[in-house]
Structure 1
Amino acid sequence: MVQTNQEIKLTSMKKEHAEQIDNALNAIAKKDVQSIFFVACGGSMASLSSGDYFVSREVAVPSATYTSNEFIHRSPKTLGENSIVILRSHSGTTPETVEAVKFAKEKGALTVAISMDEESPLCAAADYVIHYNYKDGSDAIDGEAGMYYTFIFKLLNQLEPNEKYERFVNQLQGLQSLIDINVNEYTAKGDAFGKKYKREKLIYTMASGPYYAHAYSFTSCLLMEMLWIHSNAIHSGEYFHGPFEVTDYDVPFLMVMGEGASRPLDQRALDFVAKFSDKVEVVDVAEFNYGQTDEDLREYFGSILASPVLRVYADGLAEHTGHPLSVRRYMWKMEY
């Protein structure tokens, strides 16, 4: 079991950030919300889909995650004046997402843009903006995870009030300490992972529940985009419906064991893959250090902490392959 006696530093969100969240929530409170859409691309879509998971599980309002371009071309029938569309682009310049916010507004939806750049085209086009600080020395509560999860859980509490949502938002004030503690505890494991798998040309990732978004992001953004390693994100519940046929003694798998409702799916998949592959690595979210976090809130925090922990595994690969995570062949270098 993890140790829980480390000192957790609490930090309050900056006033201007708290006001941005409250402004969006006040506007949403005036609407008869009948649908919520989460719209973005790549890693931004993955981060939003974790929130979608909790919205769909916790409240009775239908929600869905879309990649930006398909959102426009599919044009969901339920999209309209009673819809909330939450969009994210790290830079705020992703063309498909900028077009998606314009499309949503044309349909009458209330739009909320999440980005690190308040002056970006995405934020300029949206009804409301939630800006997060990035790599400027700010505490995590004002970063992308802190801002997004504060907004999502305040939204949940607004739609269907529950005291646990308030406790979660309050305990988010210790997020930076929890991230620092877990990154420190997993650094050696990430380095060992990189050393062991540095020559692999393919690594599969597997997860379920809100952690499937992390498997997707790790696969698409870290392994494929940044490290040029072939990969595929496999949902633990879908593993036995085709993908398990590729399992063999020399096929690598990174298994993210979730904390929460879908953990039995992960355990079933892990029990099988470990029998036939000699290259199975496990990141067990239940073993993260949660400090003094309330037991019933750990699933929510686990979803946040999984991202920085998995980044440590990518850093390990980058170190031992000599391939910096910043290198690209095509992205930002040509028209596409």
Structure 2
Amino acid sequence: MIKNYTGQTAISKTLEELKDKDINRVFYVACGGSSALTYSSKYIIERDSKILAAEVYNSNEFIYRSPATLDEKSLVVVISHLGNTPETTAAAEFARDKGATTVAFTYENESPLAKASDFRIDYQYGPQVNPADSRNILIIQLTLGLLKIKEGHHKYDALVSSLPGLQYTVDKAIEKYTEKSIDFATKYQNEKMIYTMASGSNFGVAYTFAICILMEAQWINSHAIHAGEFFHGPFEVVDKDTPFVLLLGLDETRYMEERAQKFLNKYGEKLFILDAKDFDLSKIDIAIEGEIASVLHLYVLRALSREFAKVRNHPLETRRYMHKVEY
């Protein structure tokens, strides 16, 4: 029987159901931006868990590669906004055939993906939705909840106690970078290539901005660069004419981002440096600041994307091929 819950209730009820299940591996399976949202969770598990392993897979590759570790002790988290991505639905069915437990995050609770999963977590969507009810925070919350029920990890409670202040924190972060966002979008609206860079729990956000916003929604060439790999090839493209968006987070990998920033400041010029140290985190538990930083980066970059859409007269919903031609 499929269990269907919404928002915060969904997380607590699902964790209750998973508490007695023997789980040793978590697979996050999705495509595009939905997949990128899971990088923070993979980072959290790999850093903090002694009994769980984590993998991030593109939905199709998950099926074709058919990981040997996928079995009845696996939890497969499948994500699709509308729940109608065919390969993600197929991945959920594939995982269940292997005996794994599946949890779907989808906006549409009657979608094919929801019906193909053991549990489905619905979330709210839209500009007026409280960030605490958005899928990006709910995915992290589920991950931290797993660590709590399996290993007694403390960060789940720290996150829950911070949720009431998340709307304020997001609003202040966007406000802090509004002027910089308008300036960067206005100055570089005609650029043919913009690189993005981050590391650790923030890398998925950099990937999302590069692939889903700049390339998909604005038709600007882009590439997400891991800050740890920057000095192993990519830094050769840096000059005064090449724009970079760099995220600086609050997790353990910040040093790599700071090292990249020093180089960009010296040899680059067209820069959008988004530093989590600028955020007002007064309403966030200090134990969870690193995890919240990646969420705030995402919201600020969404605001930046709206500025690009405005000055370029290119709505974020405009597509040439997606859902328009056969592929």
TM-score computed with the length of structure 2 as normaliser = 0.94
Cα displacement (A) at 1:66: 0.5
Equivalent runs, 1:4-15 vs 2, <5 Å: none
Match of 2:7 among 2, 17, 38: 17
Q: Deviations over 1:118-158 (max 9, x none)?
A: 11000011000111011274422222234323322222211
CA distance in structure 2 between the aligned counterparts of 1:261 and 1:163, rounded to whole angstroms? 18
| Distance change in 2, residues 1:200/1:58 (3 Å) | same
User: Does 2:179 match 1:188?
Assistant: yes
User: Does 2:215 match 1:224?
Assistant: yes
Report the more deviating stretch, 233-242 or 291-300. 291-300
Alignment-derived partner of residue 271 in structure 1: 262
**Aligned AA for 2:261?**
L
CA distance in structure 2 between the aligned counterparts of 1:49 and 1:205, rounded to whole angstroms? 16
- For structure 2, list consecutive stretches of 5 or more residues without a partner in the other structure: none
* Corresponding residue SS for 1:232: strand
CA distance in structure 2 between the aligned counterparts of 1:149 and 1:68, rounded to whole angstroms? 19
* Corresponding residue SS for 1:85: strand
Alignment-derived partner of residue 168 in structure 2: 177
TM-score computed with the length of structure 1 as normaliser = 0.92
Equivalent runs, 1:89-128 vs 2, <5 Å: 89-128=80-119
Alignment-derived partner of residue 306 in structure 1: 297
Contact 2:89 2:116 in 1 (8 A): yes
Cα displacement (A) at 1:227: 0.4
CA distance in structure 2 between the aligned counterparts of 1:16 and 1:210, rounded to whole angstroms? 25
User: Does 2:316 match 1:325?
Assistant: yes
Match of 2:47 among 52, 57, 71: 57
| Distance change in 2, residues 1:285/1:106 (3 Å) | same
User: Does 2:23 match 1:33?
Assistant: yes
User: Does 2:243 match 1:255?
Assistant: no
CA distance in structure 2 between the aligned counterparts of 1:217 and 1:17, rounded to whole angstroms? 23
Match of 1:141 among 132, 154, 159: 132
Cα displacement (A) at 1:223: 0.2
Alignment-derived partner of residue 164 in structure 1: 155
**Aligned AA for 1:48?**
T
User: Does 2:194 match 1:203?
Assistant: yes
* Corresponding residue SS for 1:111: strand
CA distance in structure 1 between the aligned counterparts of 2:322 and 2:157, rounded to whole angstroms? 40
**Aligned AA for 2:112?**
P
Instruction: Find runs of 4+ consecutive structure 1 residues off by over 4 angstroms.
Output: none
Report the more deviating stretch, 241-250 or 98-107. 241-250
Aligned length: 322
| Distance change in 2, residues 1:162/1:333 (3 Å) | same
CA distance in structure 1 between the aligned counterparts of 2:107 and 2:202, rounded to whole angstroms? 23
What's the RMSD between the two structures over aligned residues? 1.5
**Aligned AA for 2:197?**
M
User: Does 2:273 match 1:315?
Assistant: no
Cα displacement (A) at 1:332: 1.1
Cα displacement (A) at 1:292: 2.5
Alignment-derived partner of residue 35 in structure 2: 45
